[in-house]
């Protein structure tokens, strides 16, 4: 007996009226990619999903045509027009699929934070049940009101759940439920499990646990929350990714600021991994990273030597601790130029070379980007700027396949930090070699527009925090 296929149906029929940005909400770009692309990445990466079908807003279906030719989504087979309502769209998807035993997961395109565990729980539950919902407990008390807006009931919160997606079914079950619903002139449902619950009451609907992060981007504020979640949400890279450097044989790596600290570790590890590596800094090569001319000359030299440039990493930075009012004008200018303007210059000058190799830029930020730190306000501001630069360029460069990411290491034992803060307990600091390994793994990945956080506690536990 053959194993039934599992098809993920991405429901992208919305028009985004409530979001109010003038485009379908599933096309809004967050962290360098359209929301629907984040959702597709999660589904495509699951070994339990065999095929992905998108049901798209018919008026904007052409906006997703490029995804079918994108090798990032090998399981995406079709993009079909959706209907006027959620139920209409589901029925169109059902009509496009065959095999009563097929496992079907219906998932909102605008829930980009679906994780592997939710997908697995839904697919596995269909081995025993014909209908599965995803839900989370309600943190709020739910009240029932009458037509006069008076409380008529307060249900037991422990028995209540807030519905999410995926909603998963055996295809024959959800098809039969909609066939019965079609004969009801008063048919009305807000989700697909509601159709099964109403018209096939004999079919038990199992509920798997969702997550608070598996939110639906519906209102304007949701866009901002989702953007912040992409900055802050973490998942574990494998221990292998932490302890091993990827094979970089045949790759050409350029490091600006590689004379000491994290940059020096990156240079050493990249060379050991087989890459052609060139390091540029003021102290070793006399390269002024603030000068577009100097950066251009450095990159041209590498291109002439290696014939290609695959990865460009900027670790150069300055940190001077002093209240803003006591900071010399020269120090302020240098902080802004080295920490923010220089990465922008490097990114701009490196772009033509990276287009040819579908390469990547890796920048560095600091945990101070999330909240300004007294005593080094300009530094904090520039590091927030680097994060925004990363996200903006990921969006600008999306079609060229040039990627850009940003490493956010926690306190690291480097000469720059020691000079600024003095000697600190080593068990509270990251080893530059650990940060270098994470950096090179990110540089070899398909990530783009991501802020990858490296934390002391995670490294001690054998994992590193990084965006999904």
DSSP H/E element including 277: strand 276-280
Which residues make beta-bridge pairs with 33? 30
Whether 223 maps to a domain, the answer reads: no
Does residue 144 share a domain with residue 46?
yes
Query: Is residue 228 included in any domain, yes or no?
Result: no
Token code pair at residue 266: 């990156």
Domain-located, residue 300 = yes
In a domain, 226, yes or no: no
| Tokens standing for residue 206 | 């199992």
Whether residues 253 and 160 share a domain: the answer is no
Q: Are residues 169 and 266 in the same domain?
A: no
Q: Are residues 257 and 311 in the same domain?
A: yes
Tell me: do 149 and 288 sit in the same domain.
no
240 and 213 in a single domain? The answer is no
List % helix, strand, coil for the chain (3-state, nearest 5).
45, 20, 35
Residue 187 resides in a domain? yes
Residues 87 and 189 in one domain: yes
218, 247, 279 — which closes off a domain?
218
**C-alpha torsion angle, residues 205, 209, 212, 218 (rounded to 10):** -20
Which of 173, 193, 218 is the last residue before a domain boundary?
218
Report helix angle 377-396 to 342-357, nearest 10.
20
Pair 11, 121 in one domain: yes
Q: Report how many domains make up the chain.
A: 2
Among candidate residues 188, 218, 248, the one where a domain is terminated: 218
Check whether residue 213 and residue 240 sit in a common domain: no
First-to-final CA distance of the chain? 36
The first and second tokens of residue 450, run together, are 């991501």
Biggest alpha carbon–alpha carbon distance for the chain: 79
CATH number, domain containing residue 161: 3.90.550.10
Inside any domain, residue 273: yes
Beta-bridge partners for 153: 144
Q: Can you give the pLDDT at residue 259?
A: 78
**Same domain for 259 and 379?**
yes
Residue 446: which of 231, 246, 277 has the closest Cα?
Answer: 246
CATH code for position 434: 3.40.50.720
Task: Answer whether 273's CB lies under 8 Å from 247's CB.
Answer: yes
pLDDT value of residue 460? 52
Same domain, 277 and 373: yes
Q: What is the pLDDT along the chain (468 residues), one digit of tens a residue?
A: 578 999 999 999 866 544 445 678 898 888 768 899 999 999 999 999 999 999 998 888 888 888 887 778 999 999 999 998 888 999 999 999 999 999 999 999 999 999 999 999 999 999 999 999 999 999 899 999 999 999 999 999 999 999 999 999 999 999 999 999 999 998 988 899 999 999 999 999 999 999 999 999 988 888 888 887 876 654 344 444 556 888 999 999 999 987 778 888 999 999 999 999 999 998 899 999 999 999 999 999 999 999 999 999 999 888 877 888 888 899 899 999 999 999 999 999 999 999 999 999 999 998 778 777 887 789 899 999 999 999 899 989 988 989 999 998 876 556 665 665 566 565 556 777 888 888 999 999 888 888 888 765 555 555 554 444
Beta carbons of 468 and 446 less than 8 angstroms apart? no
| Residue 230, domain member (yes or no) | no
Same domain membership, residue 390 and residue 281: yes
Point out which residues pair with 145 in neighbouring strands. Answer: 151
Q: Which residue reads 């054998």 in tokens?
A: 462
SS3 assignment, position 253: strand
Please report whether residue 12 resides in a domain. Answer: yes
| Structural domain harbouring 191 | 6-218
């Amino acid at each position: 007996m053959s194993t039934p296929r599992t098809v993920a149906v991405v429901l992208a029929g919305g028009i985004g009226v409530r979001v109010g940005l003038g485009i379908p909400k599933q096309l809004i770009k967050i962290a360098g990619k359209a929301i629907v692309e984040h959702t597709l990445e999660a589904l495509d990466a699951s070994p339990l999903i065999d095929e992905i079908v998108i049901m798209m807003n018919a008026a904007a279906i052409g906006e997703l045509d490029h995804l079918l030719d994108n090798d990032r989504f090998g399981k995406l087979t079709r993009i079909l027009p959706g209907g006027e309502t959620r139920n209409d769209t589901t029925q169109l998807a059902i009509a496009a699929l065959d095999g009563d035993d097929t496992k079907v997961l219906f998932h909102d395109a605008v829930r980009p934070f679906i994780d592997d565990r939710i997908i697995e729980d839904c697919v596995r539950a269909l081995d025993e049940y014909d209908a599965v919902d995803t839900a989370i407990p309600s943190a709020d008390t739910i009240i029932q009101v009458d037509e006069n807006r008076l409380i008529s009931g307060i249900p037991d919160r422990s028995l209540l759940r807030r519905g999410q997606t995926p909603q998963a079914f055996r295809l024959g079950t959800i098809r039969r439920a909609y066939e019965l619903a079609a004969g009801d002139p008063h048919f009305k449902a807000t989700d697909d499990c509601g159709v099964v619950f109403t018209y096939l009451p004999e079919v038990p609907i199992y509920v798997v646990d969702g997550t608070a992060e598996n939110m639906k981007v519906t209102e304007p504020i949701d866009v901002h929350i989702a953007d912040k979640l992409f900055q802050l949400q973490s998942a574990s890279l494998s221990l292998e990714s932490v302890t091993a450097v990827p094979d970089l044989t045949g790759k050409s790596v350029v490091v600006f600021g590689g004379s000491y600290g994290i940059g020096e570790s990156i240079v050493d590890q990249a060379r050991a991994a087989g890459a052609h590596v060139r390091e540029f800094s003021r102290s070793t090569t006399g390269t002024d990273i603030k000068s577009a001319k100097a950066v251009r000359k450095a990159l041209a030299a590498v291109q002439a030597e290696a014939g290609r440039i695959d990865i460009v990493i900027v670790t150069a930075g300055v940190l001077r601790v002093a209240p803003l009012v006591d900071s010399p004008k020269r120090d302020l200018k240098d902080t802004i130029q080295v920490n923010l303007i220089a990465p922008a210059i490097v990114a701009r000058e490196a772009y033509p070379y990276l287009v040819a190799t579908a390469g990547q830029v890796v920048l560095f930020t600091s945990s101070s980007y999330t909240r300004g730190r007294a005593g080094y306000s300009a530094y904090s501001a520039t590091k927030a700027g680097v994060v925004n630069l990363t996200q903006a360029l990921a969006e600008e460069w999306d079609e060229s396949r040039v990627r850009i990411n940003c490493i956010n290491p926690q306190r690291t034992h480097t000469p720059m930090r020691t000079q600024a803060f003095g000697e600190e307990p080593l068990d509270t600091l990251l080893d530059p070699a650990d940060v270098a390994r994470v950096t090179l793994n990110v540089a070899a990945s398909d990530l783009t527009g991501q802020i990858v956080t490296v934390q002391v506690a995670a490294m001690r536990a054998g994992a590193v925090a990084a965006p999904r």
